[in-house]
Each structure stands twice: as structure tokens, then as C-alpha cells.
């Protein structure tokens, strides 16, 4: 199967579900292997944010949002559901506000717009993640699990249980086969819903001031208020739509089974983060078996560091100026082991941070190579040591460029040992003129 994008541009517009601010969203075709990328066009410098698990905003109430620094794009689950439900892999989404249009509270209008634009195959092979190890997350009585399955599709079984909360919603169970059943007709039209008390609290917080019960599915004791259901089980269908949208953040077409009981965005996000960790571990394992993107000779041409301060042995993956992965083989012959816990040798945390900074330098050099600039360490934020690194370990270091501007660079870094997180940090650099030799 090949990757897909849209054939032509498409556009939707309307007020945001929470903010009530009018927003215009434009979909554009995109090249293979670029994924789903949002662009905030209302900012002086348009900001691009990839729709990935790494960019998920924490602690968002009743919605899915992504963030890059202080810039956010909110309530994107219905947009992502349409993209994932139609099997689209690569698309650029321009948005002139902080929140996506809410429209009728479903993914239907987005699905219709993308379908009208047309879908075309690209030459690159589709990125597929097959679930081979069970993963489950839970919170109270709610849970969601990813399980191995059979076939070239994703089976979803969702159990929505409101039987003790609302008799008009009750308990609804539905199975849906993503990439085989018709998402456009069976799932996309299902709308968001709130109970009457929730709707009052919703608007008391200043959300959805433009909405009435005719615009939104509000459930009273006897059924919808001033509205009609599109399906007898519209509520569980919408929960599946939300889940399909959240799973798009994996950046891969998922195969296997998902079983959910009373799950919402918070649990969906926890699950997709765990799936993303598994996907990254598989990619690292494959990269270690390939020829390196850079050997030590090329690294030494890029970095000014020399023994004993050169902390990158080889670069195994290089994705333009966006992401780089390198390896540091930790040996007992490292000079710091002579004095740092000599009876119980542990690699100093500052040396792990230095290795991540050097990996960031390799990544930034892809953009700086012909500019006469060099990256000088400015600050480290959110630095955390997660597990000790010992002689014999192989440190796999990932650097992802968050911002690269004329004077500063900002990278997110992680160091792994055997697939387990050893350290992480966000590192900022000043880009200064290189001194002549």
C-alpha cells in the first residue's frame, strides 16, 4: 500500500467549538513522508506544528490539541478523524486562528471537503504499525487496550457506558473496522454530545457562547434537546470518531485491535504515546542494522570536539534538518570512569547532556553548514535523568529541531538505552559567527 494525499485544495470555515472565534481552514496536498502538518497563518511568522504524539498539549479538557512552545492549535480531533478515516497520510492544514472550526460537532464536514478534493496515491510506501504486543492504560473504571489482530485493518470495539449517568444515552457497544468499513457514512456524521448539566457548565466557563441546543447534541432525560439523533447509537459512534482522530497522532497507519471502555481523549492520548514509543523503538532497532548516515570521520568534520570530549560515534538516521539519531558506545575506557563512582561506574549525567547537545549540533549543522554560523550552548530546560548508563551500554540519542531561527536554535533530545529512556532535555543554542581559523 502506498501513501496518499489530496488531489486539490479544500477549505472549511466556522467558529471554534470552545472559543467561538471564526476560523478558516485550508487543506493543501503535501509530499510523501511529510505527515499531517498544521500551519498557523494568523501569526507574523507562520508556525508549523506536526500532528504527532510528541506535540500533544498536556491537560486539555475534552479535546485534542497540539503545541510547539507557546503556540497551540486546539480541538483538532475531528479534523484528524477525517484524515485518518479516509486513509490520508500527508496533508498541510493552514489555519488562521488558534482553534479549528467546530462546524456541526462531527468530522463529517471535514470528511466531505477532503473527499470532494479527491485522494491520490503517492510513490512512497505507507508507514504501517502492526500491534504485536498488548498495551493497556486505565483510569478508574475506564480503560483502553491495543491488541494484536488479523488482516490489513484496525478493529475497534467501543463500550460506552452511561447507564448510571444518563438513561437517554445508556450503554452502547459498537464494533467498527477502520480501513475496511465506510468511515464517511458510519462514523463521520456522529456529533459531539453533552448532558444538560454539562452543557450549562460548558457555557458557564465561557465556552461555545455561539451554540444552542439546535447546534449541538445536548442530551436531556428523555433524549436530545431541540434536536434529533442521526443514529440511535450516535454517541458511541462519535467516541469512535474521536479515537480515530487521536490515533492519527501516531503518524502511522495502525493495524490490530483496539478495545475501549468509557475511554476519552485523556486515555486515548496515553495509549497513542505508548504506541509512539514502541514505533520509535522499532525504528531505532532497524537503523542500528543499516549503514550509518555519518561515520566518525564526517562527524569530526562537522563538530569541533575531540577526544575525550567527542561524544557521538556515528549518526544512524538523518531526516534533513528536522531530526537526527546518533550512537555513543559507552566503554569502561572512558576517562571519567576513573574518578566517577569507580567502584560502581555510572556515566555522569552532564556527559549524557553533552552527548545530546553534540547530537543537536550535528542536526543544526545541516542548516548552518554554508552560513558561517556555529551553534553555542545557551540553555537546557526540562533536563531529567531517568536511569543510569553504565559501561557496555549503547546510548542512542535523538535530537528533534523545534525552532531554528536566524539567531537561535531549539532542540528536543532524548537518550535511550535498550529502548528505555535514560535522559531527556530541551536544549537551546545561540547561532554565532564562526571565528576564522
Q: Which residues pair with 99 in a beta bridge?
A: 74
Known catalytic membership, residue 238: no
CA distance 100 to 83: 14
The reply to whether 334 falls in a domain is yes
Whether residue 342 has pLDDT greater than 50: yes
Residue at a domain's end among 227, 255, 286: 286
User: What residues contact 237, with CB distance under 8 A and at least 6 apart?
Assistant: 174, 186, 187, 190, 231
Q: Does 189 share its domain with 304?
A: no
pTM for the whole thing? 0.79
Known catalytic membership, residue 340: yes
What are the φ/ψ torsions at residue 104 (nearest 5 degrees)?
-95, 10
In the prediction, which pLDDT does 322 show? 84
Average pLDDT estimate for 377-388: 92
Q: What is the CA radius of gyration of the chain?
A: 24
Active-site residue among 235, 265, 269, 410? 265
The reply to whether 119 falls in a domain is yes
The reply to whether 291 falls in a domain is no
The CATH number linked to 136 is 3.30.230.20
Q: Which residues pair with 138 in a beta bridge?
A: 143
Residue 371 banded pLDDT, cuts 50, 70, 90: low
Whether residue 298 has pLDDT greater than 60: yes
Domain encompassing residue 335: 296-433
Q: Does 51 share its domain with 124?
A: yes
**What pLDDT digit, counting tens, does each position of 174-198 carry?**
999 999 999 999 999 999 999 999 9
In the prediction, which pLDDT does 260 show? 98
The reply to whether 24 falls in a domain is yes
Half-sphere exposure of 119 (CA within 13 A, CB side): 17
Three cell numbers written together for 175: 464494533
Three cell numbers written together for 263: 475511554
**What pLDDT digit, counting tens, does each position of 252-273 carry?**
999 999 999 999 999 999 999 9
Q: Residue 357: which of 387, 377, 328, 381 has the closest Cα?
A: 377
**What pLDDT digit, counting tens, does each position of 20-40 carry?**
999 999 999 999 999 999 999
Q: Does 328 share its domain with 266?
A: no
Whether residue 1 has pLDDT greater than 60: yes
CA distance 62 to 409: 33
Q: Does 336 share its domain with 241?
A: no
Q: Residue 363: which of 311, 322, 404 has the closest Cα?
A: 322
Number of separate domains in the chain: 2
Q: Residue 243: which of 98, 65, 66, 64 has the closest Cα?
A: 64
* 8 A C-beta contact, residue 314 and residue 327: yes
The reply to whether 116 falls in a domain is yes
* 8 A C-beta contact, residue 330 and residue 395: yes
What are the φ/ψ torsions at residue 75 (nearest 5 degrees)?
55, 60
Q: Does 257 share its domain with 313?
A: no
The reply to whether 420 falls in a domain is yes
Q: Does 381 share its domain with 273?
A: no
CA distance 312 to 290: 17
Residue 434 banded pLDDT, cuts 50, 70, 90: low
Average pLDDT estimate for 346-375: 84
Active-site residue among 210, 305, 340, 403? 340
Q: Does 200 share its domain with 302?
A: no
Whether residue 370 has pLDDT greater than 60: no
Amino acid at each position: 500500500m502506498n501513501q496518499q494525499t489530496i488531489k486539490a485544495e479544500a477549505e472549511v470555515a466556522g467558529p471554534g467549538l470552545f472559543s467561538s472565534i471564526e476560523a478558516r481552514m485550508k487543506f493543501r496536498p503535501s509530499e510523501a513522508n511529510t505527515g499531517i502538518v498544521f500551519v498557523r497563518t494568523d501569526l507574523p511568522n507562520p508556525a508549523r506544528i506536526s500532528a504527532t504524539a510528541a506535540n500533544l498539549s498536556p491537560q486539555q479538557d475534552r479535546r485534542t490539541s497540539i503545541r510547539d512552545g507557546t503556540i497551540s492549535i486546539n480541538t483538532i480531533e475531528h479534523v484528524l478523524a477525517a484524515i485518518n478515516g479516509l486513509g490520508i497520510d500527508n496533508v498541510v492544514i493552514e489555519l488562521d486562528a488558534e482553534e479549528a472550526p467546530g462546524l456541526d460537532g462531527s468530522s463529517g464536514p471535514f470528511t466531505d471537503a477532503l473527499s470532494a478534493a479527491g485522494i491520490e496515491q503517492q510513490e512512497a510506501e505507507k508507514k504501517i504499525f502492526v500491534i504485536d504486543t498488548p498495551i493497556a492504560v486505565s483510569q478508574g473504571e475506564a480503560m483502553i487496550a491495543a491488541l494484536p489482530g488479523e488482516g490489513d485493518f484496525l478493529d475497534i470495539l467501543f463500550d460506552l457506558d452511561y447507564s448510571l449517568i444518563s438513561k437517554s444515552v445508556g450503554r452502547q457497544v459498537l464494533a467498527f473496522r477502520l480501513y475496511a468499513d465506510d468511515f464517511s457514512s458510519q462514523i463521520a456524521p456522529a456529533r459531539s454530545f453533552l448532558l444538560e448539566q454539562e452543557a450549562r457548565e460548558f457555557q458557564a466557563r465561557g465556552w461555545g457562547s455561539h451554540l444552542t441546543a439546535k447546534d449541538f447534541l445536548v442530551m436531556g432525560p428523555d433524549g436530545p434537546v431541540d434536536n434529533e439523533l442521526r443514529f440511535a447509537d450516535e454517541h458511541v459512534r462519535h467516541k469512535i470518531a474521536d479515537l480515530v482522530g487521536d490515533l492519527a497522532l501516531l503518524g502511522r497507519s495502525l493495524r490490530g485491535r483496539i478495545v475501549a471502555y468509557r475511554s476519552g481523549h485523556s486515555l486515548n492520548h496515553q495509549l497513542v504515546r505508548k504506541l509512539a514509543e514502541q514505533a520509535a523503538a522499532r525504528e531505532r532497532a532497524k537503523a542500528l542494522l543499516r549503514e550509518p548516515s555519518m561515520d566518525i570521520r564526517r562527524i569530526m568534520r562537522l563538530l569541533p570536539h575531540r577526544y575525550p570530549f567527542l561524544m557521538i560515534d556515528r549518526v544512524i538516521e538523518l531526516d534533513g534538518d528536522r531530526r537526527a539519531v546518533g550512537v555513543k558506545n559507552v566503554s569502561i575506557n572512558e576517562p571519567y570512569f576513573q574518578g566517577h563512582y569507580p567502584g560502581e561506574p555510572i556515566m555522569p549525567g552532564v556527559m549524557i547532556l553533552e552527548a545530546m547537545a553534540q547530537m543537536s549540533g550535528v542536526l543544526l549543522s545541516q542548516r548552518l553548514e554554508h552560513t558561517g554560523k556555529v551553534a553555542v550552548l545557551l540553555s537546557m530546560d526540562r533536563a531529567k535523568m531517568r536511569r543510569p548508563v553504565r559501561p557496555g551500554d549503547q546510548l542512542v540519542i535523538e535530537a528533534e529541531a523545534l525552532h531554528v531561527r536566524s539567531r537561535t536554535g531549539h532542540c528536543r533530545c532524548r537518550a535511550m538505552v535498550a529502548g528505555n529512556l535514560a535522559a531527556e532535555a530541551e536544549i537551546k543554542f545561540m547561532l554565532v559567527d564562526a571565528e576564522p581559523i
